Structure formats: C-alpha cells, structure tokens
Amino acid sequence: MVSLGRTNLDVFPLCLGGNVFGWTADEQQSRAVLDAYTEAGGNFVDTANSYLVEHGRSETLIGRWLKERGNRDQIVLATKVGGGRDPRYRNLRADNIRSEAHASLDRLQTDYVDLYYVHHDDQETPLEESLRAFDALVTDGVVRHVAASNYSPERLTEALRLQRELGLAEFTVLQPHYNLVERDYERTLAPIADEWDLAVLPYYALASGFLTGKYRPGSAEVDSPRAQRAGEYLAKGGAALEALDQVAAARRTTPAAVAIAWLLTRPHVVAPIASARSTGQLAEILPAVKLELTPAETGLLSSATEPA
C-alpha cells in the first residue's frame, strides 16, 4: 500500500477502473474481476455516475458486489459527477452535485465515498458555486476527499486558489489523461500537481488498450469497442511498443505491466487507473505493482516517445 498524497488514505498502487463494468463486462464478469483484484491485494476502485451505457450502471454493479462481499470498509471507493452525454447530469450546479452524490451513494449502497471527482469542468456554472457544493458534501461526511479531472490548467489553478482563499475542501488528487504515448500532461498539468502537491492517478493508463501490445500493424482485428481508438496510435506508437517489448522480454512480464510501471516512476503518480473486462486481462496488469524499472529501462521507454 502507498499513501494517497495528502489524504489519510492508503491505496494499492494500481487503481481498478470501473468504466467497463456493465459495458464490455457483464455483472458476472465484473464480479470476477473485482474478486480477483481484491484477492491480489487491491483495495482501490474508481467509477463514475455516467459510465457508459446506462446512467449509474457501473456504480450499481459495484454496489451490489460490495454489499454481497461485506467489504466496504476495506475498499477505497472513488466516483464522479459532471460527466456523461445527458445534459441533465453533465453540469456542476450545486443542486446537481448534491442530488447526484446521494444517488451515487444509493447505487453504491454506502453512506460515504472516499474520493469524489469533478469529472468534467462546467464553465457555465460559477466556479465558487460548484466548489462550495463539494465542500458541503465533505462537511456533511458523505465525501471524505474531493478531486479533479479534465480541467484545463488555467481552470484547475483558479479552482485550487479559490478553495484555499475561501477555506473550502481542497482538491488533493488529480486524474489526468496520461500514458506513455499521451504525454501532454507533462507540459500542462504536471507543474500544477507539483506546485499544489497533488497525488496523480492517470486514466487511460494503457491508451485504450494500445499499450498492451495487442494492436499492431498487420495484426488481426481485435474484437473490442476500443479497437478503433487504440488503432489510432499505430502510426505514432510503434517505437513505444518496441521499447515495451524489449523491457517486457527482459523482465519476463507483459507490455501492459511495463507501461503501468513506467507511469509509477513519474513524479506524484500514486496509482494509475486501468480496467479489465476479464480476469485474464487483469492478470496482465497486476505485475506492474511489483515491477521496479531500472533507470536505464525508464530512460529507454521515455525516449521512445516525446511529450507534446
């Protein structure tokens, strides 16, 4: 376990993403993955109110699993508000934050969440209104810590300054889009994470599956809803795959584990977020938590791609 930044939470250094639960993984598959993850020592599960097929579906499946296993106190649970396609929910008005937080609690069958994120910024709602609503959830005890995702650098800085000036609950965790082939974060948000001492939990840690190595030029088409997105990396990510293959072969592990282990070498990164729709996929990524890359291996991987 590792400390999650300035929170009082200790987490497994690989966060299990719940975006596939109820989408590419049905309820039985989702429970199998959750069971295998916790049996391997995992305790950190990330979801959202808006994933992907039905509003709240991922939360509902996780909530039923938590109740049946009776392990809520052993799980660090994160969810989000302000995302999705439905305009009724894709906003950060105070009333929506409050009502959606309690709806998430009902679906998750818990009376608190450990980490509650802004999923996407809402520039039509006054920032102070949103931040005060998050603070009220912390005051009420239904949220332990608040966190940020998908803010621009300017808006994130403005939010952090406003929280501090007004004495509101502060974002202590940042969830950015960051992986070996998507490194714009290093230029845009990493300086803010450093200045404000934010714990970083990258999403799309495996670039929609591309960094697992199953998408390659000339390879057979992969049956996955993410195949098109992952395939877009083929033109620019060949060098990354070569470097991953080289390190994975030398260390007798998977390219996916190496890709996550590389993220764990980055400043402030605590627990990359990766999902698995089967226990087989989970087995490919779990070795990352014990894989300590050498400086030479880290340098090889970093030099295979360049930050934007």
Question: Active-site residue among 51, 117, 151, 185?
Answer: 51
Largest CA distance in the chain: 56
Q: Residue 84 in contact with residue 90, Cβ under 8 Å?
A: yes
The answer to whether residue 51 is catalytic is yes
SS3 content of the chain, % helix, strand, coil (to 5): 45, 15, 40
Q: Residue 272 in contact with residue 12, Cβ under 8 Å?
A: no
Of 221, 226, 205, the closest CA to residue 269 belongs to 205
Which value, to the nearest 10 degrees, does the dihedral of the CA atoms of residues 137, 139, 141, 143 take?
40
Of 284, 146, 165, 266, the closest CA to residue 214 belongs to 284
∠33-35-37 over CA atoms, to 5°? Answer: 65
> Catalytic residues, which ones?
51
